[in-house]
Amino acid sequence: MSRMIELIRSSSVPATLMQAAARGALSVPPAEMIEILVHLANHNKIFGQQARMTLAAWEEKSSLEAAANPDTPQEVLDYLIAHENLRPRLLPALLENPAISDATLVALAASGSREVVVAMQQSLRVQKSPAILQALAENANSAEPESSQMLEQVAQVEASLAHGESDSPSSPEEDAAVDAFLVEHSKELVMEGEKPFQPMGGIHEFEFHSAEAATAPAEMSAAPAENHSEEPSAVTAAAPDSTHSAATATRKAPAAKKPHPNPEAERGSALQKISKLDIKGRIQLAMKGTKEERSILIRDSTKLVALGVLESGKITDGEVEKFASQKNVLEAVLRQIPMKRRYAKNYNVVRNLVANPRTPLDVSLALMKNLLVSDLRNLSSNKEVSDTIRKLALKMFKTKSDPTKK
């Protein structure tokens, strides 16, 4: 027997029943009723407004159950956490729901109201995520003392994740995933032979990107100066920016109590480790290693190693967003990223891929339809992408800006 939601999706019910559905008056389980209401709110022009009103006043118990349940349909979760639909009483449950991506919470943290800021500060998940904390600290509705405290917490969490990740033993699941990957690509491994580590763009680029990636000038100034004679002046030049300096000093404070290697030192150590590994060793490190090691191995000119990074169970959406914009990775990496549903649904990943001139043309063309009007406008004047992409972006921008002009 078909569920009512399936009949409604296929328009197999009379208008009177649809009207009853929009009022929440069907004899179905509460979870299915919410799913029906969200479907009508999103897709039905006649009964959508009534469905939205019903959802806004829906009884709290079943709403909380839906918000907290990872098995709740994604469309329902996306609706509940959308800024225009968000009910404050549901937010704590939504924040801890693993089915809601970090990218969604980063966007919410960046633009949420004061009430949202307060709720997110109390979330255990938020407290463990540097990306969400950073966005929350930069929210205009965060008080200055709160922002400083969160920036300090970002530094602490990043250090904890980096060292905890490198020290933690492999789990059986990680080992099984590596074994399965090696078996699946056994023929390609034989063909690759004993190819050493050769990064796309060359080793020298790592020094530049390492300094660029350091988020605080104080961290850069702590790096060895022998090969970076220009860095001290750059740090000095940044000093007059009092706001940035205050944030930097706050983020550096925990490091003074418990020193950790600076980004360039960590990268140098990781490069030495990687350069000694064969292909299988690099694949294992790509899937089981640290964030720093993944940032290096994603540029490995051996395709299997670079693709192994994308198979890591530890990889974050933020890392993939960065990989999607890099021009010093294999095209196979950029092609593989949107093949994974998790990343194909991440708007930042999609936008970065389309704007990356190294992304294969067919991939960019397939993803462009998902871009917002403002990004299409920017893309139409981006001299780095192909003429084909620019022209199509301009056409799509005009169409979306004024749908009456085809």
What sign does the CA torsion over 268, 272, 275, 277 have? negative
> Is residue 201 pLDDT above 60, yes or no?
yes
Using CB atoms within 10 Å of the CB of residue 116, give its burial: 0 to 12 exposed, 13 to 18 middle, 19+ buried.
buried
Task: Tell me which of 10-14, 43-47, 350-354, 357-361 is least confident.
Answer: 10-14
Residue 269, φ and ψ in degrees, nearest 5? -65, -45
Give CA–CA dist 281/294, Å, rounded: 13
pLDDT of 162 = 60
The beta strand positions in 193-335, using DSSP E, are: none
Whether 232 shows a pLDDT value over 80: the answer reads no
The rounded distance, in Å, linking the Cα atoms of 343 and 320 is 8
Beta bridge partners of 300: 199
Closest to 118 in 3D by CA, of 91, 157, 99: 91
Phi, psi of 215 (to 5 degrees): -80, -20
Q: What is the pLDDT of residue 262?
A: 54
**Dihedral angle sign, alpha carbons of residues 143, 148, 149, 155:** positive
Q: Kindly report, residue by residue over 126-159, the tens digit of the pLDDT.
A: 988 888 999 999 999 999 999 999 998 888 877 7
Cα–chain center distance at 160: 20
pLDDT at 1: 40
Distance between CA atoms of 299 and 329, rounded to whole angstroms? 5
Confidence grade of residue 306 (pLDDT, cut at 50, 70, 90): very high
pLDDT at position 330? 95
Structure tokens at 142: 């965060």
**Helix, strand or coil, per DSSP, at residue 238:** helix
Residues 6+ apart with CB under 8 A from 170: 288
More confidently predicted of 263 and 68: 68
How open is the CA angle 126-129-132, to the nearest 5 degrees?
Answer: 70
Secondary structure of residue 3 in the 3-state scheme:
coil
Distance CA 215, CA 220 (A): 8
DSSP letters of 115-180?
HHHHHHHT-HHHHT-HHHHHHHHH-TTS-HHHHHHHHHHHHHHHHHHHHHHHHSPPPHHHHHHHHH
pLDDT more than 70, % of the chain:
80
